[in-house]
């Protein structure tokens, strides 16, 4: 049976730029919603929540 790659991988979801050529120059148009960046959103979410819980659990100054 042919195994297809998972459709939900982050790489697949990232839209690709459209490329136009004007003479020798290449013009790239990035579609709306293009996010880029190197850190997956799920990791960013975890990091933010970890930081907030650390702040909330820290003993408060008198």
Partner 1 sequence: MSARTPPDYGRNVFINCPFDDDYLPVFRAITFTVTLCGFQARCALEVQDAGEVRLLKILRLVRESRLGIHDISRTELDRENCLPRFNMPFELGICVGATHFGGRIHAQKRTLILDVERYRYQKFLSDIAGQDIKSHRNDPRMAISVTRDWLNECQPFKALPGGRDVSRQYDRFCKDLPAMLKSIRLHESAISFLDWRRLVEQWLKEPEA
How far from 43 is each of 18, 47, 54, CA to CA, in Å? Answer: 28, 6, 16
* By CB under 8 A, residue 56 contacts partner 1: yes
Q: By CB under 8 A, is residue 18 in contact with partner 1?
A: no
In terms of Cα–Cα distance, which of 62, 10, 18, 59 is closest to 35? Answer: 10
Q: Does 59 bind partner 1 (CB under 8 A)?
A: no
By CB under 8 A, is residue 10 in contact with partner 1?
A: no
Choose between 10 and 51: whose C-beta lies nearer to partner 1: 51
Q: Does 15 bind partner 1 (CB under 8 A)?
A: no
């Amino acid at each position: 049976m042919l195994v297809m790659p998972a459709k939900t991988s982050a790489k697949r979801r990232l839209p690709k730029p459209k490329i136009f050529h004007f003479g020798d120059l290449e013009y790239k148009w990035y579609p709306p919603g293009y996010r880029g960046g190197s850190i997956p959103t799920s990791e960013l979410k975890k990091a933010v929540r970890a930081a907030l819980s650390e702040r909330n659990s820290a003993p408060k100054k008198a």
